[in-house]
Every structure is written in C-alpha cells, then in structure tokens.
A and B are shown apart, each in its own frame.
Chain A
Amino acid sequence: MGEIHTYKRRNILSGFLFGVGLVAFIDEAVFHQLLHWHHFYDLSSTTWGLVSDGFFHALSWFATVGGLFLFADLRRRKRLIPLRWFGAVLLGIGVFQLYDGLIQHKVFRIHQIRYGVDIFYYDLIWNVTAVLLIAAGILCISLARRKQYVRR
C-alpha cells in the first residue's frame, strides 16, 4: 500500500519537474532567442534577482532531464497514471510562469517581458495564463483521482 502512494507522488513529482523544465526551455527558446523580447540582462536586476535566476536556470535543466528519467522509471514499473502526470505538467508550467511573471519580472526586475511597449497587458496575459494553467492542472489531477476511485 505504501508503495502505491510512493508512485502516486512520483507521478506528480515527475510531471511537475518536467513542466517546470519545459516552460523554462520554451521561455529561453521563444522569448530570448527567437523573438528577442527578453534580454540576457537589462541592468535593473537586483542581486537577489541574479541569484534567483541562476538557481532557477540550474534547476530547470535538472528538472527537464530528471523529470523525464522519473517518467521512464514509472513506465518501466507500469505505475504511470497519464492524466495525473499530465495535470502535474500543467501545474509545473503554471507555477513557474507565475513565479517568473510576478517575482522574477516584477519584484527582482531581472528583465521585462518586452521593451518599448505598454507592459501592463503583457504582464496581465502572462500571469492570467499562468493561473489558468494551474487551475487546469489541478482539474486534471482531481479527474485522474476520481477515475481511479471509480475503477476500484
């Protein structure tokens, strides 16, 4: 019984980590490299902003790779609950985006979403999307839980 709980938690952990890694990668690839909206460093960052950015950047690599290896481990043990895992991915994406949008962009001022435009709507869309993703993630996880309950 304890083992089942371990793997249920591992479904969440794996999905969450992968979500965080995925959104960090999308952020880097799309907003930094393709659109050039974000800057590498816009000189208004606080010291804590640099530290926070450094840690999240390091963590995001580990999250992507580690999350996928945990996923592989769950599959190998036939303990994967796809909907639960997917919900955790959405949750991870949403939580990281909200942290990025509120703390890293606004409090630590690492960089803004875009320069030379009215930033308010960008921030609004960014953070509302994050909240919606978190809600969708929680919904998926609870649906998965209900489905399992019915099956038993």
Chain B
Amino acid sequence: MSVDKLALCIASFGIFAYLLAMKYSAKRFKNWPLYRLVLFVSGTLAGLQAVSGSVAMQAHHSFVYHMIGHLLLGMLSPLLLVLSRPMTLVLRALPQSGSKAVSHLFCSRYARLIIHPITAAVLNIGGLWLLYTTPLFHHMHQASWISFLVHLHVFAAGYVFTLAMLYSDPVAYRKSHMYRMVVFIFALAGHGILSKYLYVNPPAGVAPADAQAGAVLMYYGGDLIDLILIFLLCWQWYQTAAPKTSLPATKTAE
C-alpha cells in the first residue's frame, strides 16, 4: 500500500515539476509545445498504472498481468517520457548556473557509461534475463523492497535504453544511427529469445499455461512498441540524410 502512495506522490510531483518548468522556460524561449505535456502525462499515467493500479494488483497472481505491467513500465512509459524531452525542458527552465551544473552531470563519466548504447542495452535486456531466469523472480514476490528495486530498475533501464536509441534529449558523445540500429537489433533479438525461452521454461511459481500466454504477450507487445522505436530511429536518419539542395556548394557524397 505504501508503495502505491509513494508512486502516486512521485507521479504528481513529476507532473507538477514539468508544468512549472514549462512556465519558466516560456519566459526566455518560445512556448514549450503542449503535445509534449500530453506525452509526459500519459507516460506518467502508464507507469503509475503498472505499479499501483489494477494491473499491479493482478500482477501478484497472474503472469499475464505481470507482463502487461512490465510492458507499461519498462517500454511504453519510458518511450512516452523520453519523447516529452524532460531534460531539454529542465535545461531551458533553469538559470544559467543551474543548467551548467546539470549539463556537467550529463557529461560525467558515469552518465557517459550509462548512456552508451551497449551498456544501456545490457542493463535493459540483461536485467530481464536476470529477473526471469534466476530465483530473483520468486524473491520479488516475497519481499516488497526487492519488488520495489526491480520495478525501479525496469523503469530506469527502459528509460535509459530508449534515450540511448533516440537521443531526443541532449546526450554527450553520440553514436551514429547505424551503430544504434545494430545494438537495437541485438536488444530486440534478446527480448524475443527471452520470451520464447519463457514459453517453455516458466519462472519459478508460474503455471505453464499462464507463462505461455505471458510469453506470447511479451513477444508481440514488445514488437509493437519496438516498431515505434524503429520507425522513429529511421525517421531521424531520413531527416539527417536529406540532400542539401539549397547549398549546392557544400554538397558532399553523404
């Protein structure tokens, strides 16, 4: 119960902070687009639904609901939140000294390591393998603090991975589109292989029929959200690869 309230508090604080940042950024820059607020709020609600809504209640008994929660918390919510560009908004809203400190943080060695596509993919997909193929899944249902940490990791790893693929917020030391696409294919394959693995090897304490339904959901649900990510990644490439017709002098063999 306390976890529910904590999640609700964090969510409302997040939305409040986003609104406040929108107000402050509008003082110096042009208005922050409203659709990003919609993205942020829906992302927050999707995450909230997974940890404290009816999905979370059912998830204790049903693996299918656990998987719905996982899709919401680890994939959909991070995608929506990343697209709402919260870091950019924070950088705009803060006074110069504040945004300098934040950007210093983004350039730190730790941030560089975490946001590297390979690290982000390993944290995300590797974490899932760890959860479902070791006794961790069993322990998660025994102790609420383990459950809390697992949920936190699923969300954070999903967020960092999505950001490391899309670079919608300022990210230092960027990798090329091709690099990220290759990493993405590995990550997506790891997700698909894990779901088929779970189809035959249910996690401890899950009935086979329940595990099979959950695995199929994980496979196709993951596909659907990853398709959106793939589309966005390719769309970014398409925009950056546009022929520079207005400046023929600088045209290269790009």
Q: What A residues does B235 contact at CB under 8 A? A: 69
Q: Within 8 Å of chain A (Cβ to Cβ): is B60?
A: no
Q: What A residues does B186 contact at CB under 8 A? A: 58
Query: Assuming A65-B231, A73-B238, is B184 touching A57 (CB within 8 A)?
Result: no
Q: Within 8 Å of chain B (Cβ to Cβ): is A40?
A: yes
CB pair B188 A2 closer than 8 Å? no
Taking chain A's interface residues, is the majority helix, strand, or loop, or is none over half, making it mixed?
helix
Taking chain B's interface residues, is the majority helix, strand, or loop, or is none over half, making it mixed?
helix
Q: Mark A14-46, 1 if CB is under 8 A from B, else 0.
A: 000000000000000000000000001101000
CB contact between A61 and one of B199, B200, B226, B238 (< 8 Å): that residue: B226
Q: Within 8 Å of chain A (Cβ to Cβ): is B113?
A: no
Query: Assuming A54-B190, A66-B181, is B197 touching A61 (CB within 8 A)?
Result: no
How many residues of B are counted as interface, with CB atoms below 8 angstroms from the partner's CB atoms?
A: 28
Q: What B residues does A62 contact at CB under 8 A? A: 181, 184-185, 230
Query: Assuming A55-B185, A58-B192, is B199 touching A65 (CB within 8 A)?
Result: no
CB pair A58 B253 closer than 8 Å? no
Q: How far is the CB of B139 from chain A (nearest CB, A)?
A: 26
Q: Within 8 Å of chain A (Cβ to Cβ): is B189?
A: yes
CB pair A41 B200 closer than 8 Å? yes
Residues of A within 8 A of B (CB): 2-3, 6, 40-41, 43, 50-51, 53-55, 57-59, 61-62, 65-66, 69, 72-73, 76-77
